[in-house]
Amino acid sequence: MQRRVAVPYPPQRIVSLVPSQTELLFDLGLAERVVGVTKFCLHPADARQRATVIGGTKNFHFDKIAALQPDLIIGNKEENYREGIEQLAAAYPVWMSDIVTLADALDMMRRVGLITGTKTRAEQLTAGISTSLAELPAVVEPATAAYFIWRQPYMVAAAGTFIHEMLPLAGFRNVFADLARYPEISPEQLAQANPQVILLSSEPYPFQPKHVAEFQALCPQARVLVVDGELFSWYGSRLQHSAAYFRGLHGQAQ
């Protein structure tokens, strides 16, 4: 992003604008220094009780942030909005991540560890995640899959997204790899793509078992599964749980 940020070391009053990075901060042992989080910061369960809720990822309450007097704000290029970030950056040190690949995610965790004085813990965490994912069994013939993130309109995760990068680790090949980002697709496009598996993510749209029949009608031959979206899209310390989940999921998709 070509930005240079000067951060006091170690920062004592941190505001996190991204749920997955909030969880990372807590897992790095920084709970006492996290003073602000978003309303979507669900992990750990008490994060929103321990810190002030400063709005959502795309609508910040600037007055609440100002009252917290942060010496570090952590955001993400995709999850936050440019205007809000620019307004905050004019007044505070705002450190941004930009993540597409697993390597990006691991690099982000190490960098956050470095700037918060938790380098050793961050390196232990990333090493564990790398090992667990590397030990996943290789899938000779990945099942073709469509990964849905939204309904009305239907939207999928395509190339250039972290989810797309994680699908092969779970044993799937994205049938919409020729499209970019999060395209809207029609029922006709889905039928033509003819995936063996349809994955309905629990977030950002809260897909539930009641939605399975709707997609089964669109692709009668496909296996339709509701999946834990956090384990495909949260690029922080939640990744330490992804390998075990992917092992189980691959069995369900057979």
- The residue extents of the domains of the chain are 14-133, 143-252
The DSSP H or E segment spanning 172 is strand 172-174
Whether residue 236 contacts residue 24, with contact meaning beta carbons closer than 8 Å, is answered with yes
CATH superfamily of 143-252: Nitrogenase molybdenum iron protein domain (3.40.50.1980)
Residue 253 binned pLDDT confidence (cut-offs 50, 70, 90): low
CA 249 from chain centre, in angstroms, equals 18
Taking the C-alpha atoms of residue 246 and residue 249, their distance in angstroms, rounded to an integer, is: 5
Nearest CA-CA partner of 102 in 249, 238, 250? 238
Residue 234 binned pLDDT confidence (cut-offs 50, 70, 90): very high
* H-type alpha helices, 41-144: 47-50, 62-68, 82-89, 102-116, 119-134
Res 159: pLDDT: 97
- 204-217 confidence digits (pLDDT tens): 999 999 999 999 99
Residue 254 binned pLDDT confidence (cut-offs 50, 70, 90): low
- In degrees, rounded to 5, the angle at the alpha carbon of residue 122 between the alpha carbons of residues 82 and 95 is 20
Class of domain 14-133: alpha beta
Q: Do 143-252 and 14-133 fall under one CATH topology?
A: yes
Half-sphere exposure in the Cβ direction for 242 (13 Å, CA)? 31
